Each structure stands twice: as structure tokens, then as C-alpha cells.
Amino acid sequence: MSEFSFTDHSHRRFNPLTQSWVLCSPHRAKRPWLGQTEEQSTETRPSYDPKCYLCPGNTRATGTRNEQYTSTYVFTNDYAAVHENQPMCTNTDIEQVTRSSSNDLFRVESVCGTCKVVCFSPRHDLTLPELSVEEIIKVVCAWQQVYADLSRNPEIKYVQLFENKGAVMGCSNPHPHGQAWALSHVPSEPAQEISSFRAYQKKHNACILCTYVEAELVNSKTESTNRIIVQNESFMVVVPFWATWPFETMIVAKSHVSSISEMSDAMTRDLASAIRELTIRYDNLFECSFPYSMGLHQAPTATHEDGVCCHLHLHFYPPLLRSKEVRKFLVGFEMMAEPQRDLTAEQAASRLRALSSVHYKSKV
């Protein structure tokens, strides 16, 4: 029997943050594709769209008019997923849908909170990779301000900052923007990560991501084990060893920083630079506006009791697989059993690392 090869043979990789496994099947990348292809927009967007609900000075669907903003712009989502003031759900209320009071089978919790929209720029046509470092710094500063402001509300237990880029990721408006959802509880995904942080700290007396950063720095000395795409003084951009999505990445703070509130001015600049370097490479991969969902994981709030064990990092989950028309689907086995990927983390990192840090549109 031939020797095991990570580029040819199936194997599972463990995600220590979520305590879950992902099946890697690199040989499947060779299979022919006759499935769904995504339509790519060839439309050139204007710098200002009078019909866009997010452009400066325009009136939104609810009748509220945007300010004539010239930088980032933050406002409360007109169609928020949660609201600050709503009644609590009692056992009597639960009986309306279960014919019994709350028990191990039928549990309900009332959720309160608020949602913010963060417009990255007044320009309707520029996404993050097309902004300058200085302009992305303003975005990061807006995130810091939103996070700090929402953390001051004692009813808020968690703040999630995120961006959905591209229609394929469910983005309802093409004007480059992100969101902040603030909730009265810590959601399942970050709660699992925090549990993993605590367990690793207890077992090893160390932070799991501090240890991971050190290990990947050592791994980067050999091409076959190098998963780092780019790095600077404060942040590392890496394809996680346990990545699920084809070109999934993490931007991880090299030092133990619990949240963006703790970043120095130098770290803020370095984070903006890392975001720009990564997203330019994403766009360059298939020479398109590369879709993804991105989110910051950090201390639930600036004052949360679990904050000390948290380590600031950003997840990027892009769906494209073989080209700008072919995307990855999490279906079938992946929904019923566990996630699966066709490309190893090392192969994905090598491809992204080899790309130019100059946006392809700048070369035209």
C-alpha cells in the first residue's frame, strides 16, 4: 500500500475552537462539475446611486433620510432582527404554542437587543479591498465605537460585528456596509468558542489562539506546512488548519488582546492593513468582487466576565470554490453528518499567498 498523502487521501481535521471535525477529501477537486453556476454581475456601479437606501442624503424605506456623510456612517437598522423593548416570554405564553409550560423539550427565551448598520464609505462602488488603509482605519474605528457604546448597556451581553459581501451571501444592498447585532445573550457559536478557550486555559494554562499563533509561525518556515498568507507586527492572516470553506481564513491578533477596544493605534492600523491585504487577494483569486461572510469574535462585550479568556480574531467564510461561477455548498452529508472540503488548507493558503497585493482593477 502507498504512503498516506494529505493531497490525495481523505482525512479529518479537528477544530479546537468549535470542538468539531471537518472531512478533507482533496482528490474530489478533480471531479467534473456540471452543477449550479453563479451569475456574476458585470454592472459597473456608480459612485452614488440616487435609489440606494444607504447612499449619503438618500431617504431610506422607512422615510428617514441619511446624513450627507463623508466617511463611515452608523445608524440603527430600520428592520432590526431584535428590539430593545419587548415583553418577556412567560410560561403562559409558551403554552400558546406547546400546550404545556417550559420543559426540556420546549424551551423559549425572549431576546432583546438592537442592530446597527455600518456604512464603510459614502462611495456606492467601493468595497473594502478598494479602500485605502486610511479609509479602512475609519471602518475599524467605527467598529470600536459601536462595540464600546453597545457594551455600556447593562442589558447587552453580546455584540457581533460582521459583513456579508455579495448577493450570493444574502447581502440585500450592494452599497458596502456591515452590521452590528447586540443581544441579551451570548449566541451558540461564540459561546462554544468561549467554552473551548476556558477548557484549554484550564488544561494547559495558556490561551488556545496564542498557542496556535506560535505554532503557525513555526509551521510557516516550511512551504508544505505554511498556512500563513500575510502578516504584520500585530496580526496574522492564516488559513486555519481546520478550515471548512474552500478559501476560509482567520485574521488573528498575535498578542493576547481580548477585543478591539484594547487595540493601540498601531494595532488598529495593522488590522486595517491585514483586512486590505487579504480582501485584495480574495478579489484577485478569480478577478471578481469576491463574496464572503466575515465576523469579529472577541470578548462578548467590553465588560463581560468571560472577556479575559477571549482572543480577538476575525473569521472570513467565502463560498467560491473553483471559479467565480462555482461555489461550495454545505448540503447532504455536510448537513447530516459533518462538514467536508475538497481543498486542503495548505493548498488554499499557497494559492492565496502567491497572489498579488495590488488589486486587479488597478492593473487595467
The DSSP bridge partners found for residue 320 are 327
How far apart (Å, rounded) are the C-alpha atoms in residues 278 and 134? 16
Active centre residues (catalytic): 177
Among 280, 298, 305, CA closest to 290? 280
Quick check: 301 and 151 in contact, CB under 8 A?
A: yes
Quick check: 292 and 318 in contact, CB under 8 A?
A: yes
Dihedral angle at the C-alpha atoms of 351, 356, 357, 360, nearest 10 degrees?
-110
Quick check: 198 and 306 in contact, CB under 8 A?
A: yes
Segment holding 22, helix H or strand E: strand 20-24
Grid coordinates given for 171:
447581502
User: Would you mind telling me the total number of residues written for the chain in this entry?
Assistant: 364
User: Rounded to whole angstroms, what are the CA distances from 14 to 19, 20, 86?
Assistant: 7, 6, 40
